[in-house]
Amino acid sequence: MHEAMVAESIIDSILSQVPNKHGRVIRVVISCGQINAINDEAMKFAFDIAAEETICKDAKLKIKHIPLKATCENCSKKFNYDLYDPCCPKCSKNDIKIGEDAPLLLEEIEFEEN
């Protein structure tokens, strides 16, 4: 479960960013690409465990999934790539150029000071 390692990295990043530790983090927003294979349930479970005994305990985790962009090399149509049906939605060809998958990003945290 790579989500465990991702969760630990999120907590480490937050702890190094929060200006002072007198307060708590109540909301965390992350984003990820399709190929990052982040499962929401596993991610939230791992996050809750990693957040225990830190200022992130009980923080809500929001996960934004960024679609993978693709371009059809036959008809130049740009579209969101569907891993289950990897064909161009316009011409049905599968001569497709897949764009870069979005990286795993820590987008935003909401911090409540004491």
Partner 1 sequence: MKIKLAQKILAKNDDYASANRKFFKRNNILCINMISSPGSGKTTILEQTAKALKKKIKIAVIEGDLYTERDAERIRKTGLQAIQIETKGACHLNADQITKAVHKLDTENLDVLVIENVGNLVCPSDFDLGEIARVVVLSTTEGDDKCVKYPGSFAKADVLLINKIDLAKHLDFSIAKAKRDARKLNKHLKIFEISAKTLAGLDKWFNWLIMFSGRRARRPK
Q: Does 40 bind partner 1 (CB under 8 A)?
A: no
d(CA 38, CA 106): 13
109 sits near partner 1 (criterion: CB under 8 A): yes
Using DSSP's 3-state secondary structure scheme, residue 109 falls into strand
Instruction: Give residues 75-94 in contact with partner 1 (rule: CB under 8 A).
Output: 83-84, 86, 94
User: For partner 1, which is the closer residue by CB, 57 or 97?
Assistant: 97
Per DSSP, the residues of 15-54 read HHHSS-SSEEEEEEEEEEESTT---HHHHHHHHHHHHTTS
Contact 101, 34 (CB under 8 A): yes
Q: Helices 2-17 and 40-51 meet at what angle, rounded to 10?
A: 50
Question: Which range, of 13-21, 46-54, 59-67, touches partner 1 by CB under 8 A?
Answer: 13-21
Among 36, 54, 71, 74, binds partner 1 (CB under 8 A): 36
Contact footprint for partner 1 (CB under 8 A): 1-2, 4-6, 9-10, 12-13, 17-18, 30, 35-37, 83-84, 86, 94-96, 98, 101, 103-113
